[in-house]
Amino acid sequence: MISDNRIDQCFATLRNEGKSAFVSYICAGDPSMDRSLEIMQALERAGTDIIELGIPFSDPMADGIVNQMAAHRALEAGGTTLGVLELIRRFRKNSDTPIVLFTYLNPVYTYGFEAFHHDAAEAGADGVLLLDLPPDEIARNEELKEIDTLKHIRLIAPTTPEDRIPHLASSSEGFIYYVSRTGVTGAQQNLAEGIAQNVATIQQHATVPVVVGFGISTPEQSAEVARSADGVVVGSAIVRQIEASVDAEDLASEVEAFVKPLVDSAKSV
């Protein structure tokens, strides 16, 4: 049976083409919702396969300073969870690029856990990555029971105990996000060691693709990760480009020009 979820369809197409997915992260509302819409459209033009859209939050504890400041700019500009859903609706008028909401539990819980899932799916989101909600807690809290309107994506890190990987891998939907290094998000000069080996270990237990993020910032790094993973995630490097060009009239075009070589490199291997 063919899934009607855009994430599943995207990976199925890429698998047939023998290519890795390129996933771009931005914080919704940075520097404004209108500019975010322009940036999302630019990411699509650059060849992005999946867009990770951060919901601005005042305490993004897994994020480095670059993404923290993006969330701060979005909040200062009036960014809200409702505003993010409206942004998705506007994007969906002309695009079928899959969207994953990258968020913490607090905004979702405040919105209403079940209502958020239904409203996000209705708006056009395809998946959600709740950074601070371990699957164990879901099992203990009926109000946090996962709802199948969105794909629930799991994080696996280098520090994840080996005996825990099978559970996380088998319960992930859409794809598995392998965090390639410990600590917070942020571009790095060098890739972490052991990515290929760790991805291969996860793939032994996974029924969905494995993508790799945290620290990827150059075309060379993008290509290297694509050789061993089903997808490449670039976030902080894109957000830094947005910050550097925040006042530029052609902000979206500058982001597009920055992202395209990263995409092309991932697709070339």
- The span from the CA of 47 to the CA of 181, in Å, is 26
Band of the pLDDT at 187, cuts 50, 70, 90?
A: very low
Mean pLDDT of 123-140: 90
pLDDT tens for 44-85 read: 999 999 999 999 999 998 888 999 999 999 999 999 999 999
* Alpha carbon distance 70, 242 (integer Å): 9
Of 63, 126, 173, 224, catalytic: 63
- Please list the alpha-helical segments (H only) found in the chain: 6-17, 33-46, 65-76, 81-92, 105-111, 113-123, 135-140, 165-171, 195-203, 219-226, 236-244, 251-267
| 126 labelled catalytic | no
Residue 215 scores a pLDDT above 90: no
- pTM score, two decimals? 0.94
Q: What is the rounded average pLDDT for all residues in the chain?
A: 93
Is there a catalytic annotation at residue 63?
Answer: yes
Q: Which of 8, 44, 49, 52 is catalytic?
A: 52
Distance CA 35, CA 14 (A): 29
Cα–Cα distance measured from residue 52 to residue 72, given in angstroms and rounded to the nearest whole number: 18
pLDDT tens digit sequence for 3-25 = 899 999 999 999 999 999 999 99
Given this model, what pLDDT does residue 186 score?
43
- Two tokens, residue 12: 């199925």
Given a contact cutoff of 8 angstroms between Cβ atoms, the answer to whether 203 and 26 are in contact is: no
Is domain 6-267 in CATH 3.20.20.70, yes or no? yes
202-211 pLDDT tens trace:
999 999 999 9
Are the CB atoms for 186 and 203 separated by under 8 Å?
no
Instruction: Show the tokens assigned to 141.
Output: 């809290």
